[in-house]
């Protein structure tokens, strides 16, 4: 008979009690740490992220109170640095997209006032079906999926919308 080696079962209750104690004691100081380095709204999010990491890595939290405090602040620092790097990347992407939007011609809406007025006269769902099909290149089944409607409903609404649009343009 072979013996099977088993990993020791962690004491989940003790871990939970220890992390609760550490969090209860250190959360106000961590929140103040984040508030001094970011906005109040961001501070709350950063604290939440830090505490989530602490709960996920509960077995890594040192038993000694001072070491646990230092460990938590180390996690907080890394969370803050990651947030700042993400913010810089997000801002760079926003700047690039803004520059691209300013340098390319706008194709958002047709310049034909008569067509815009005719579309505005349609039911909003019908107008959206027309736009998705003709401007955005979706098929009717894709439009049905996108709008969360049955395909048959979209087909019949498209047929009515097309007829109503044609009539509005002929006026």
For the stretch 110-126, pLDDT in tens is 567 888 889 999 999 99
Write down the pLDDT at residue 103: 82
* Cα angle value 154/159/163 (rounded, 5°): 140
Q: Which of 125, 133, 115, 127 is nearest to 169 (CA)?
A: 115
pTM: 0.53
109: helix, coil or strand?
A: coil
Distance CA 148, CA 142 (A): 10
Is the model more confident about 26 or about 16? 26
Distance CA 158, CA 137 (A): 14
Write down the pLDDT at residue 5: 61
Write down the pLDDT at residue 102: 82
Cα-based torsion angle of the residue sequence 87, 92, 94, 95 in order, rounded to the nearest 10 degrees: 140
Most distant CA atoms of the chain, gap in Å: 91
Give the mean pLDDT of the chain: 88
Q: How many helices (H) and strands (E) does the chain have?
A: 7, 0
Please measure the distance between the N-terminal and C-terminal CA atoms of the chain and give it in whole angstroms: 91
Helical H segments across 36-112, by residue range? 40-56, 65-103
Taking only the tens place, the pLDDT of each residue in 142-156 is 999 999 999 999 999
Is the model more confident about 24 or about 113? 24
- Which domains occur in the chain, in start order? 11-103 (1.10.1740), 108-170 (1.10.10.10)
Q: Which of 50, 113, 102, 122 is nearest to 80 (CA)?
A: 50
CA distances 42 to 47, 69, 77, 85, 112, Å, are 9, 21, 14, 14, 45
Taking only the tens place, the pLDDT of each residue in 32-84 is 999 999 998 899 999 999 999 999 998 888 989 999 999 999 999 999 999 99
Is the model more confident about 115 or about 3? 115
> Cβ(30)–Cβ(69) under 8 Å?
no
Please determine, for residue 2, whether its predicted confidence score (pLDDT) is greater than 60.
no
Is the model more confident about 13 or about 38? 38
């Amino acid at each position: 008979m072979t013996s099977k080696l088993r990993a020791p079962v962690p004491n989940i209750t003790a871990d939970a009690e220890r992390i609760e104690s550490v969090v209860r004691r250190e959360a106000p100081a961590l929140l103040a740490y984040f508030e001094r380095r970011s906005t109040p709204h961001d501070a709350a999010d950063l604290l939440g992220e830090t505490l989530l990491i602490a709960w996920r890595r509960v077995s890594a939290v040192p038993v000694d109170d001072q070491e646990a405090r230092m460990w938590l602040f180390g996690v907080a620092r890394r969370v803050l640095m990651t947030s700042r790097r993400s913010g810089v990347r997000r801002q760079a992407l926003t700047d690039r997209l803004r520059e691209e939007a300013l340098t390319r011609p706008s194709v958002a809406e047709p310049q034909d006032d008569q067509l815009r007025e005719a579309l505005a006269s349609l039911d909003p769902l019908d107008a959206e079906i027309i736009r998705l099909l003709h401007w955005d290149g979706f098929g009717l089944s894709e439009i049905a999926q996108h709008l969360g409607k049955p395909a048959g409903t979209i087909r019949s609404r498209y047929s009515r919308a097309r007829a109503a649009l044609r009539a509005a343009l002929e006026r």
